[in-house]
Amino acid sequence: MLFRSLKYHRERKEGSVYWLELDKPGKLGPALHPSASESQPNMSTNSNGARSVMKVSKMSMSDIAAALSRQSGHPTEDHTGLQGSFDFEIEWAPEESPTSSDPPLRTVLKQQLGLKLQPAKGAIEILVIDQIAHPSAN
């Protein structure tokens, strides 16, 4: 459906977010490694419904937090304090399922990367529709 007129603006409001934090201060998980200087930046996420896989090379924690926003369904802010870039590969079950042998994302983040998603309040951007008009009949 086409609209003749659409007017909107963006607002920032307080809402539910996640803070990406270290599970134990100063300790990385076994699958999280500082990037080698010769590696190239790359991030991919694939899912087949039963399993999701994320491969990351030479990405900052703020980039990783942004990718986790898409996976968790909530804006995610980097509060790890980690500088530099990192590499890892993780697999998880997108939804809890008795048939999946993979753990959920939160468990994988904690056990393999030494990270956690901490629920918090923060500024989120919302889109506000000010006016919308259907096309006039010809």
Higher pLDDT, 93 or 95: 93
Cβ–Cβ < 8 Å for 75, 69: yes
Does the pLDDT value for residue 74 go beyond 80? yes
Query: What is the chain's mean pLDDT, rounded?
Result: 89
Does the pLDDT value for residue 121 go beyond 70? yes
Radius of gyration of the chain from its Cα atoms, rounded to whole angstroms: 19
- What is the reported pLDDT for 136? 67
Task: Give the C-alpha separation, 109 to 105, whole Å.
Answer: 6
Does the pLDDT value for residue 3 go beyond 60? no
Q: List, edge to edge, every strand of the sheet that includes 33-34.
A: 33-34, 86-92, 52-59, 42-47
Does the pLDDT value for residue 137 go beyond 70? no
Closest to 90 measured CA to CA, from 110, 116, 108, 78: 108
- What is the reported pLDDT for 122? 86
User: Model confidence over 75-91: pLDDT tens digits?
Assistant: 999 999 999 999 999 99
